[in-house]
Amino acid sequence: MRKAWGTTQAEIVFETEEAMAAAKSKLEGKYVGNQRIWVTDKKANIPKAPINLPNQELPDIKDVITPWHNVPYETQLQRKSEKIGAIVKQIVTNLQKEPKNTWANKVPKFLGIVRSPVETGYRNKTEFTIGYSEDKKPLVGFLLGAAKDGILAVGDPSQVPVVPPEHLIIKNAIQPYIEKSELVPYQKVTHTGFWRLVILRSNRARQHLCTIQVNPVDVAEETITKIQNDLIEIAQNIKTEDGTNLIAGLFIQFHSGVSNAAPHDCPFKKLWGEDIIHEDLLGLKFQISPASFFQVNTAATEVLFSAVGDWCKGVHARSTILDICCGTGTIGLTLAKKVGKVYGFELVETAVKDARKNATINNISNCEFIAGPAENSLPKALKNVQTNLPIIGIVDPPRNGLHAKTIQAIRACPEIETLIYVSCNPDSLVNNAERLCHYTSNTYQGEPFVLVAAQAYDLFPQTHHVETLAFFRRVSKLDLPLPFSIESETSLTDESQGDKKIESDENQGDKKIESDENQGDMKIESDIKKEEGTDAGAESMKND
């Protein structure tokens, strides 16, 4: 049985028509409280196209997960740089269509793109789908397409360049057990089957958390107990070259919902080992649990967060930073020593708990993390802020961008003079920027912001995805000095420059953006931040 959150409807799937008829006769006309139960038939959710047609040519798994794997890295950077340069121009063009936006003639500076220090094997989280290969054998890998298109086959991930070798070692150790299991992989069409996902989290110390997601419906408790014991034995025998356990902690997650993306409150049961691992980031230690959000490319994240810190240079030592959509507190905590106070706002309560733990681990006492909608929490927090000093707002929203009410709350806080926007989706950045910069109205109260500068950061090599850092200032504060230079032309430096490799993009905005719509690439998104699911192979490769 499946019930969508927030509704009064449920869907029950039966194996036989007799079982369905018996249930209907028992439920029809019954009441729950004063609500009558109404029973209706629903057609099975069969895909529009037949599943894996005999003559259907399935795509190469590398093209599905990493569609730019054959594109030289310098060309990847150029494409992404051109794309974000054009996005910056689009924001200005859209604002200029409204005459009341008199400040829209101020053209923001696009500072080019900063490359990732690592181009392959960079993912610290991998979600392998357990399904069937093209030849109908159980396989732990990535989906080759979308269920709505009739493609349910799973491809071998061994040659996907962004997957770390250690993740493949663990996957290959678990694979034979699933092949021999009497329980079958979960099927999206029938919503039946046991094995669903193998989820791996890792740090740069080569420690791993491994979660096996399963559907426990109609599986005997003693069978699940035996499977758990068998998985523990497998995990304990996966070793590094020096004999250390490659898996630090093993978990199982019971999930019977339609989508592989389990709800935030779906628990993880520890079977063996450690509850968490830690990752070092910019001199701080962050805990990673099976459910924690953490950017998937750690080395490139350090480059990005260093830039956020650079863009906060010159801030008063007693100033306040408002870290909106703070997740597990990574950005705010890395800036905490530079300012008097950091307030972090996050909708997901489990993320807030992780943020508080991260503050404790690092002996940081000037950070306060608040769970709930930012539009409700912001005004309350500002009552405790020293308002004679400037406030910097930092937003790092999920893929769909800031909620309209959050934008309104930011606009209505005059103390926020500077806003730094970390974007994982250019489309939502355009939408949000237009509202942040919109002329003052009943809907958007407070002085508008102006987009001053933007820079692209490649956190996802081999794909079209790219992060953008955007710097906004209030209209009346444009004369204030900037924490970075926008006068000098940047250039793409050599390999030895590490995290300062920047590609020149002086006139990139005028160039044609090479379309990647037909590249076959699927969304690669992140955990708490990137929640929307996809039926394609990249459902297993979500970009945080």
CA distances from 394 to 3, 410, 414, 419 (A): 36, 10, 15, 6
Residues of each annotated binding site for S-adenosyl-L-methionine:
295, 346, 396
Residues of each annotated binding site:
295, 346, 396
Q: How many angstroms separate the first and last alpha carbons of the chain?
A: 30
Residue 297 is classified by DSSP as: B
Q: Which residue in 193, 393, 364, 361 sits closest to 292, CA to CA?
A: 361
7/3 Cα distance (integer angstroms): 7
Decide if 424 contacts 392 (C-beta within 8 A): no
300/120 Cα distance (integer angstroms): 12
Which uninterrupted H or E stretch holds 357? Answer: helix 349-361
Decide if 121 contacts 163 (C-beta within 8 A): yes
382/504 Cα distance (integer angstroms): 40
76/97 Cα distance (integer angstroms): 32
11/230 Cα distance (integer angstroms): 33
11/27 Cα distance (integer angstroms): 13
Question: Which pair of tokens denotes residue 537?
Answer: 């192979």
- Among residues 210, 413, 424, 437, which one is catalytic? 424
Query: 210 catalytic, yes or no?
Result: no
Render the burial of 165-193: b for 16+ CB within 10 Å, e for the rest: ebbbebbebbbebbeebebebbebeebeb
Q: State how beta strands 269-273 and 247-254 pair.
A: antiparallel
Q: What angle do CA 199, 251, 229 make, to 5 degrees?
A: 120
Which uninterrupted H or E stretch holds 114? Answer: strand 109-114
Active site residues: 424
